Chain A
Amino acid sequence: MTAETQAANAAAVADFRARARWQWYEPIFWLGAIAWYFLFPTYLPLGTQVLCSALFALSLDLILGYGGIVSLGHTTFFGIGAYTAGLLAKYGWGEPITCLLAGGVTAAIAGWICSFVIVRVQGVALLLVTLGINLVLYEIANKAYTITGGADGLQGIVFWKVFGVFDYDIEGRVAYIYTLAVVFLLFLVARRIVYSPFGLALKGMRENWKRMPALGAALRHHGALIFVLSAAIAGLAGALLAESVQFVALDSLGVQRSVDVLTMLIVGGTGVLYGSFVGATVYMVVRDQLADLNPAYWYFWIGLMLVVVVLFTRNGVVGALSDAAAWFQRRGRAQS
């Protein structure tokens, strides 16, 4: 091997390594999440909800931003996770960690069953199927009010102490720390997937699923695997939310929430991991600020946000930020 090819090979490998390396803003982001705990003690419940929504958006990002599978009904799995944890607690088993895992497992099983249809359809049919599954489940939860509480939601659930030590407090301190820890762990899992060979295959599916079989890719297996994973993470997010608010609302299965999470992800940016966190934060804060407005009207601004993001940004807030950074870099170089 000549020195030249050796250098080129090293550059090729370094390319992949550089992509996967932790960036400077990543520790800042997570340290900021910890700082939130100390800086805004009265906003911890909001912070917990943002984290749960971000995790939910992250699960959607795995199928949509990486796998290219569009879903209009992803809250199916969020709701299944929430109800699983809630029902366990209601009927006598309120240990948070096992309830959380149970939420993830049932959502994964549901995702596995759904995946048989999901991987066979594309385009509008895929929208219909995901939406349809969501609607069916909503109807079931609505009608089975003896079990689920119907439109009143699942009330009177109590979760035990986390690790048998930390009791959920009114200020939401324990819930925040616990949620942050779980979300961070699952973020690491997502990060691992994204920079693995499987992550590359997912990007391939997103970029051009028609080409994939011609490379020998078993598209349906890829699709089913990421769908199950994504469903599991969505279920974990739902269970986390149920545990922190000690309540499961029927609208955790509502189509509205499916569209909300899609909106968060798009506003933040798809296929960039942090897009879901940025999007969830922006969305929740905007909604918090517009809370005085009649919901009938504030959806106007959410809709406008979607239209603007699609027409005028390349990839949501994260896309706009990285474009701006690139612009400054180019300008800096031109001046020096």
Chain B
Amino acid sequence: MFSIIQGIVQVLFDGVAFGMLLFVMSVGLSITLGMMRFANLAHGVFAMLGGYVTATLMYRGGWPFLVTLPIAFGLVAVVSVALERFVYRRVYAAKELDQVLLTVGIIYMSIAAAAYVWGPEPMTFTLPDYLTVYRRIGWFSFSTYGALLLAFGTVITLAIFYGLERTRFGAMIRAAVDDRRVALGMGINVNRVFTITFAIGSGLAGLGGALGINALGLDPSFPIEYLVFFLIVVSIGGGGTVKGALAASLLLGLSDTAGKYYVPQTGAFIIYVVMLLVMLWRPNGLFGRS
């Protein structure tokens, strides 16, 4: 009985931490989709890049883990703006298929580029000592790394909601997501709002990838491996709703963790089946607008 409760608490802890991480990584995609109807399948490339930035700075440069995080955020944001300006902007008005193909092409190119620069094998890490210790509260033991994920995830999530709900810029974003044409009519420079939002969203993906290097693993095929996770978050959540993305991320994080904990032999199978059932039941997502 006791071990059952212990297991549940463990799964809750790890699942919520993983869910938060997923949310930080994918919230940008959800907003992009809502605002521009742009399906950026290459979103995972930003997360991968963030991971490699942190890994490189830590192991080649000897930088402290925590210091590398803002750099991962900033660098990825800058790269994403360049990509948005020179490539993505050309296909906003294009058919969805073109967007899919273009971003798949970018995934391929970045996989090869990552393999060229960092090698095709998975990166191995040794996190700083303070992140590898286990702490106990009573009978419940947890890793400081997990606690860090949870803490960062919570803070960033709160910041995102605060930014969206309470700031002027957040109001502009919401207006643009709700109805682009109306926002334009209100005199909002939707293109600029979008570029900034895109940069922040991509930067967050990079930050998530950097934070999660130990939990997610890091190798050149990262953008493909996690593509289905991102798609689940935006589809189940319903593109454009941040609350939906959060709920879907937590759901996904919890069910993935629970699946790995209780029925490890089924792999990712359970998530996929649950996802298909949800899509059959609510094609527009659990929280989507019809």
Which residues of chain A have a CB within 8 Å of any CB of chain B? 64, 70, 72, 116-117, 120-121, 123-125, 127-129, 131-133, 135-136, 139-140, 143, 255, 259, 262-263, 266, 270, 294, 296-300, 302-307, 309-311
Query: In chain B between 38 and 91, which residues have their CB closer than 8 angstroms to a CB of chain A?
Result: 39, 41, 87, 90-91
Roughly how many angstroms separate A135 CA and B229 CA in the complex, as a whole number?
A: 12
| 15 cross-chain CB contacts under 8 A | A64-B97, A116-B280, A123-B39, A124-B235, A139-B267, A296-B112, A296-B115, A297-B112, A300-B113, A303-B105, A305-B105, A309-B101, A310-B101, A310-B102, A311-B90
The interface bits of chain B over 19-50 (1 if a CB of A lies within 8 angstroms of the residue's CB, else 0) are 00000000000000100000101000000000
Roughly how many angstroms separate A189 CA and B285 CA in the complex, as a whole number?
A: 37
Q: A128-B228, A255-B224, A296-B120 are in contact. List 15 more A-B contacts (CB 8 A).
A: A124-B231, A125-B284, A127-B231, A128-B235, A131-B227, A131-B231, A132-B272, A136-B269, A296-B116, A299-B112, A303-B111, A305-B105, A306-B101, A310-B91, A310-B98
Query: By the criterion CB–CB under 8 Å, are A120 and B283 in contact?
Result: yes
Q: Which residue of A lies closest to B109 (CB)?
A: A303
Which residues of chain B have a CB within 8 Å of any CB of chain A? 33, 39, 41, 87, 90-91, 94, 96-98, 100-102, 104-113, 115-116, 120, 220, 224, 227-228, 231-232, 234-235, 239, 265-269, 272-273, 275-276, 279-280, 283-285
Contacting residue for A128 out of B113, B232, B267, CB 8 A: B232
Contacts of A270 in B (CB 8 A): 97
Query: By the criterion CB–CB under 8 Å, are A135 and B105 in contact?
Result: no
Given contacts A123-B96, A300-B109, A311-B90, whether A132 and B283 have CB atoms under 8 Å apart is no
Query: Within the complex, what minimum Cβ distance (angstroms) separates A208 from chain B?
Result: 11
Q: Which residue of A lies closest to B280 (CB)?
A: A117
Contacts of A143 in B (CB 8 A): 265-267, 269
Query: Within the complex, what minimum Cβ distance (angstroms) separates A226 from chain B?
Result: 16
Query: By the criterion CB–CB under 8 Å, are A125 and B108 in contact?
Result: no
Q: Which residue of A lies closest to B119 (CB)?
A: A296
Roughly how many angstroms separate A117 CA and B282 CA in the complex, as a whole number?
A: 10
Contacts of B231 in A (CB 8 A): 124, 127-128, 131
Q: Which residue of B lies closest to A305 (CB)?
A: B105
Given contacts A123-B96, A124-B33, A306-B101, whether A117 and B228 have CB atoms under 8 Å apart is no
Q: Which residue of A lies closest to B288 (CB)?
A: A125
Roughly how many angstroms separate A309 CA and B224 CA in the complex, as a whole number?
A: 21
Given contacts A123-B39, A307-B106, A311-B102, whether A136 and B97 have CB atoms under 8 Å apart is no
8 nearest A-B pairs in the assembled complex, by CB-CB distance: A303-B108, A306-B105, A300-B112, A303-B109, A296-B115, A307-B105, A128-B231, A303-B105
Q: Which residue of A lies closest to B107 (CB)?
A: A303
Contacting residue for A304 out of B109, B115, B272, CB 8 A: B109
Contacting residue for A139 out of B41, B111, B272, B276, CB 8 A: B272
Query: By the criterion CB–CB under 8 Å, are B234 and A139 in contact?
Result: no
Query: By the criterion CB–CB under 8 Å, are B235 and A133 in contact?
Result: no
Given contacts A124-B231, A125-B285, whether A259 and B104 have CB atoms under 8 Å apart is yes
Given contacts A117-B280, A124-B234, A132-B275, whether A70 and B102 have CB atoms under 8 Å apart is no
Roughly how many angstroms separate A263 CA and B96 CA in the complex, as a whole number?
A: 15
Roughly how many angstroms separate A132 CA and B229 CA in the complex, as a whole number?
A: 10
Query: By the criterion CB–CB under 8 Å, are B102 and A307 in contact?
Result: yes
Contacts of B97 in A (CB 8 A): 64, 70, 270
Contacts of B33 in A (CB 8 A): 124
Query: By the criterion CB–CB under 8 Å, are A133 and B101 in contact?
Result: no
Query: Within the complex, what minimum Cβ distance (angstroms) separates A88 from chain B?
Result: 26
Query: By the criterion CB–CB under 8 Å, are A262 and B228 in contact?
Result: no
Contacts of B234 in A (CB 8 A): 124
Query: Within the complex, what minimum Cβ distance (angstroms) separates B286 from chain A?
Result: 12
Given contacts A132-B228, A304-B109, A306-B105, whether A127 and B269 have CB atoms under 8 Å apart is no
Query: By the criterion CB–CB under 8 Å, are A139 and B284 in contact?
Result: no
Query: By the criterion CB–CB under 8 Å, are A124 and B280 in contact?
Result: no
Query: By the criterion CB–CB under 8 Å, are A127 and B100 in contact?
Result: yes
Most buried by A among B33, B41, B109, B239: B109
Contacts of A121 in B (CB 8 A): 279, 283
Roughly how many angstroms separate A73 CA and B276 CA in the complex, as a whole number?
A: 13
Roughly how many angstroms separate A306 CA and B41 CA in the complex, as a whole number?
A: 14
Contacts of B108 in A (CB 8 A): 299-300, 302-303, 306
Contacts of B235 in A (CB 8 A): 124-125, 128
Contacts of B279 in A (CB 8 A): 117, 121, 125, 128-129, 132
Query: Within the complex, what minimum Cβ distance (angstroms) separates B289 from chain A?
Result: 13
Query: By the criterion CB–CB under 8 Å, are A128 and B109 in contact?
Result: no
Query: Within the complex, what minimum Cβ distance (angstroms) separates A173 from chain B?
Result: 35
Contacts of A298 in B (CB 8 A): 112
Roughly how many angstroms separate A143 CA and B33 CA in the complex, as a whole number?
A: 35
Roughly how many angstroms separate A305 CA and B90 CA in the complex, as a whole number?
A: 17
Q: Which residue of A lies closest to B112 (CB)?
A: A300
